[in-house]
A and B are shown apart, each in its own frame.
Chain A
């Protein structure tokens, strides 16, 4: 996939407030970020800096209090919950810190999940899932449940799942946080390779050693980019 200069993420002046009965907390205070297709960026910040909230907004799991977010040409403000689901399904591949695999489902069943919600036929999604899993070196683990896999293998299954619907954007939230050094390196290498193949990677981390592997670093402190 050739890199072009199309903007995939455009955040303009994003604010996010959380209110309880008595206190309003301003978590994000006017964030503007532009990410071009094919970029590999890391968002880094200490805990409480608002990076998780930012990640949720980029991932369309949460909506900003104020501001504009255009994802791959679509203005996401004022979309319904189901429309957001649709966009997440097609445009974003999620990789979570705690893998978030269905523990009773096999590797294959976990990986095909996004394709089920996209309405891809069983034969097609099965062959695609096997293809991706083979590429990630999991061809011998197709029918294992997560509990039978190592942490590194589980995260690779999660990455395979993120790739299932061939989204432009991979959103990885502390993807190495629950892994040992070796497995963490493997995961980072996979992400770099995916970026080389043209995927846009947005990585959230609090570790400088991880963030430094990205091509661009956005530093977040106290809800602002510094």
Chain B
């Protein structure tokens, strides 16, 4: 029996039971749709986070207090044993570093006249912060100099959110405003960085570390940013920094993060996430496949007489097998196609609003899966049909 004839037969069968075919394909549509959308979402999240991490700079190392994934004090609190001296130590003892910037960060309320802006992240750092952190660039005005840092000048470089909330359209540079109870002068505005995981990166004010220490009364730092001249030096510098810090601290007191190690963690996490999402979607496709098997069994039973007649007229086992197998494939393929179209549309829509990257392999996978579902779940009913004896089948009422 020729292929064209088989295609015609299977489509006729689909059209003959429109509602039933639709409900059966719906299972496949939902399965394929969710595979594409969820995998796209997973990939989108991954590429988004990756780009965020790379935004920090690939030749950057940062040291943070406490050990990630390591021992914690009861209650999960990390005792911060990292001090400004550690940053100075690194700066003085290690050569071939581009810059070292310790950072003290505290949330505080900023105020201009009667306008308040709460929860602003105040970063106390050194004058080479913009050199160490790649995505921190001054858009307007200047960053504070090392002499301003040493003299303890009350100057601030503010983020876009602070600028807009406090000064609106007004020229901000040269204005005086409050951080806590102290008055600072705006000398620069940072370029917009957007939100990372819902945290506004622009609700910030950067001030000299010497001033920050006095203002907040702290001596330990929340992070030390170290940048190398080239990316290839990173592993070497990482090792040296570690050795240096271990002279004074234990392994549990600090964590050294590089863009690469950060990426690794994120990639691991998002891969698991993608797999989990894909797995959930695959289960729904499996359920859809069971629906196909179910409806094919009904179809075979319903058409027992037809099968008997076809056999009487000369159909071989393989002809009947192909006919019903192709019908199952047609159901799941039609469902697969609709699912792919809907899934792609939704993924593209989601990518406009949130993060979503349509990966070709998820589309190919969904397509192959839906055909495979047709073959796998159509096989048993088709074999059953092909084995019917013509005489029994013709006698069937």
Per-residue contact bits, chain A 58-95, to B (CB 8 Å; 1 contact, 0 not): 01011000000000000000000110011011100010
Query: Given contacts A82-B317, A116-B1, are A94 and B312 in contact (CB under 8 A)?
Result: yes
A-side interface size class: 20 to 34
The answer to whether B391 and A100 touch across the interface, beta carbons within 8 angstroms, is no
The answer to whether B312 and A59 touch across the interface, beta carbons within 8 angstroms, is yes
Per-residue contact bits, chain B 148-180, to A (CB 8 Å; 1 contact, 0 not): 000000000000000000000000000000000
Q: List 27 A-B contacts (CB under 8 A).
A: A56-B391, A59-B312, A61-B390, A61-B394, A62-B391, A81-B316, A82-B316, A85-B311, A85-B315, A86-B314, A88-B313, A88-B314, A89-B314, A94-B312, A94-B313, A100-B312, A100-B394, A102-B306, A105-B12, A114-B313, A114-B314, A116-B1, A116-B2, A117-B316, A117-B319, A119-B1, A119-B2
Give B390's nearest chain A residue, CB to CB: A61
A51 within 8 A of B: no
- Which interface residue of A62, A85, A89, A118 has the most chain B CB atoms within 10 A? A85
Q: Which residues of A contact B316 (CB under 8 A)?
A: 81-82, 85-86, 117
| B312 → A minimal CB distance (Å) | 6
Q: Which residues of A contact B5 (CB under 8 A)?
A: 116
| B257 → A minimal CB distance (Å) | 68
A206 within 8 A of B: no
Q: Which residues of A contact B77 (CB under 8 A)?
A: none
Give A103's nearest chain B residue, CB to CB: B306
| B243 → A minimal CB distance (Å) | 79
Q: Which residues of B contact A119 (CB under 8 A)?
A: 1-2
Interface residues in A20-70 by Cβ distance below 8 A to B read: 56, 59, 61-62
Q: A89-B313, A119-B2 are in contact. List 13 more A-B contacts (CB 8 A).
A: A59-B312, A61-B390, A61-B391, A85-B316, A85-B317, A86-B314, A90-B314, A104-B16, A116-B5, A117-B310, A117-B313, A117-B314, A117-B319
| B172 → A minimal CB distance (Å) | 77
| B341 → A minimal CB distance (Å) | 29
| B276 → A minimal CB distance (Å) | 45
Q: Which residues of A contact B310 (CB under 8 A)?
A: 113, 117
| B319 → A minimal CB distance (Å) | 6
Q: Which residues of A contact B16 (CB under 8 A)?
A: 104
A161 within 8 A of B: yes
B111 within 8 A of A: no
Query: Given contacts A61-B394, A102-B306, are A117 and B312 in contact (CB under 8 A)?
Result: no
Q: Which residues of B contact A118 (CB under 8 A)?
A: 314
Give B12's nearest chain A residue, CB to CB: A104
B237 within 8 A of A: no
| B9 → A minimal CB distance (Å) | 9
Rounded to whole angstroms, the CA-CA distance of A198 and B24 in the bound complex is 51
Per-residue contact bits, chain B 311-352, to A (CB 8 Å; 1 contact, 0 not): 111111111000000000000000000000000000000000
Partner of A161, one of B306, B313, B319, B390: B313
Instruction: Name A residues whose Cβ lies closer than 8 Å to a Cβ of B.
Output: 56, 59, 61-62, 81-82, 85-86, 88-90, 94, 96, 100, 102, 104-105, 113-114, 116-119, 122, 161, 165
Per-residue contact bits, chain B 5-41, to A (CB 8 Å; 1 contact, 0 not): 1000000100010000000000000000000000000
The answer to whether B314 and A100 touch across the interface, beta carbons within 8 angstroms, is no
Interface residues in B193-213 by Cβ distance below 8 A to A read: none
B309 within 8 A of A: yes
The answer to whether A100 and B390 touch across the interface, beta carbons within 8 angstroms, is no
Partner of A117, one of B1, B305, B394: B1
Rounded to whole angstroms, the CA-CA distance of A127 and B318 in the bound complex is 27
Q: Which residues of A contact B2 (CB under 8 A)?
A: 116, 119
The answer to whether B309 and A100 touch across the interface, beta carbons within 8 angstroms, is yes
Rounded to whole angstroms, the CA-CA distance of A122 and B1 in the bound complex is 11
Rounded to whole angstroms, the CA-CA distance of A56 and B316 in the bound complex is 18
Partner of B315, one of A96, A100, A117: A117
Rounded to whole angstroms, the CA-CA distance of A54 and B199 in the bound complex is 86
Q: Which residues of A contact B309 (CB under 8 A)?
A: 100, 102
The answer to whether A100 and B317 touch across the interface, beta carbons within 8 angstroms, is no
| A20 → B minimal CB distance (Å) | 15
Q: Which residues of A contact B391 (CB under 8 A)?
A: 56, 61-62
Q: Which residues of B contact A96 (CB under 8 A)?
A: 394
Q: Which residues of B contact A105 (CB under 8 A)?
A: 12
Rounded to whole angstroms, the CA-CA distance of A62 and B4 in the bound complex is 31
Rounded to whole angstroms, the CA-CA distance of A185 and B157 in the bound complex is 106
| B250 → A minimal CB distance (Å) | 79
Rounded to whole angstroms, the CA-CA distance of A82 and B390 in the bound complex is 12
Q: Which residues of A contact B312 (CB under 8 A)?
A: 59, 61, 88, 94, 100
| A57 → B minimal CB distance (Å) | 10
Rounded to whole angstroms, the CA-CA distance of A85 and B313 in the bound complex is 7
Rounded to whole angstroms, the CA-CA distance of A116 and B314 in the bound complex is 9
What are the nearest 4 A-B pairs in CB distance?
Answer: A89-B314, A117-B314, A61-B391, A82-B316
